[in-house]
Chain A
């Protein structure tokens, strides 16, 4: 039987890719240490925990999915996930290893639980996955990606969006899917996106640190209270693009109620409220 052994919530952003790709000196600079320092803590924690798989709840940014057919929920069932070209050439990472067998099992279980997902045998992952992942799951110089993933994409860009409550329930269904898998795997669930940011209109660049920190507190202490927020409230509190935080809510829904926060880091910088939070699950 597989089980959930931890959770990670992490922002995703092209800026994180630029800084990672600029090298260790830039990552460790005074400007970026408040974000990349905590990422190093998470990498160390993960190294110790040694999970067998990561299920990554994220959102695409019109790099794989487009408006011709936009899926509300889409699940990867592939053995590898190439890095998407977002319009500037793909970053030079090898394709991420997947686990098709686990992917198909999760697909069956989610559909049985009335989550009628789009099933993807070919899926290129964009910065929704590969902006935070190298910080915790990539060895430079010694063999690349360490942990196979199963990506689960949520539509957070084309309204109507699945409600926060629906995303929480998706997490609950994901948890059941993991626990009903026959292989003895230890799984960490990752939710990416947010926190506050606004990329359009007169409020471009607005970051709201008080709300971001309150969001992380609620996620740790009373996660179900977040299911009662409407998208209108989330947009007013954190910005149009901050609604990505429902990916974190799905992650939290996949964890047991008594999961405890371990690393909690926040850095409001330039046009982003960057958040990072890990949860440990009692054995």
Chain B
């Protein structure tokens, strides 16, 4: 099977490689690393999950098999830690809602983070 230049170019086109260090994307590495945290934050689409989060955050977290480290990141509202652990920005927004964290606050921390989600 010959792997033609045309094929290799197409393969390259769907998966950016060697991005500058201050840019990141959501891909195999982040999706794999972040699956538990993403499931947890995605659940907050459901108002019953939001109610549970407000009433008993520990019971809410216990549903998703988060590691001890991941639970600490949630407890600490450590947005950069959550991002580096693979949490997608789109579910992070849902977690920011239940914790009354405005997006500009997360943005401020992002700017100061020095990067590192694809590291």
Binding site for B on A (CB under 8 A): 14, 61-63, 66-67, 84-89, 157-165, 198-205, 230-232, 235-236, 239-241, 271
A202-B115 contact, Cβ under 8 Å, with A62-B88, A87-B97, A159-B14: yes
Chain B count of residues within 8 A CB distance of the other chain: 45
- Inside 8 A of B20's CB, which chain A residues have their CB? 236
Q: Given the interface contacts A85-B45, A202-B115, does A231 sit within 8 Å of B27 by beta carbon?
A: no
Question: By DSSP majority rule, is chain A's interface helix, strand, loop, or mixed?
Answer: loop
A159 touches B24 (CB 8 A): no
Tell whether, in the assembled complex, residue B23 and residue A230 are in contact, meaning their CB atoms are under 8 Å apart.
Answer: no
What is the minimal beta-carbon distance from A115 to any residue of chain B, in angstroms?
16
Interface centre among A63, A86, A201, A202 (most CB of B within 10 A): A201
B16–A200 touching, CB < 8 Å: no
* Docked-complex contact A201 and B117, CB < 8 angstroms: yes
Query: Cβ of B42: which chain A residues have Cβ within 8 Å of it?
Result: 62, 66-67
Looking at B13, B98, B107, the one whose CB has the most chain A CB atoms below 10 A away is B13
Q: Check if B14 sits within 8 Å of A240, measured CB to CB.
A: no
A200 to B25, CA, bound (A): 9
**Known contacts A88-B97, A199-B107, then 20 further A-B pairs from the complex at CB < 8 Å, ordered by chain A residue:** A14-B93, A62-B88, A62-B90, A66-B39, A67-B42, A86-B94, A87-B94, A157-B88, A159-B25, A162-B14, A163-B13, A201-B117, A202-B22, A203-B111, A204-B108, A204-B111, A235-B16, A236-B20, A236-B23, A240-B24
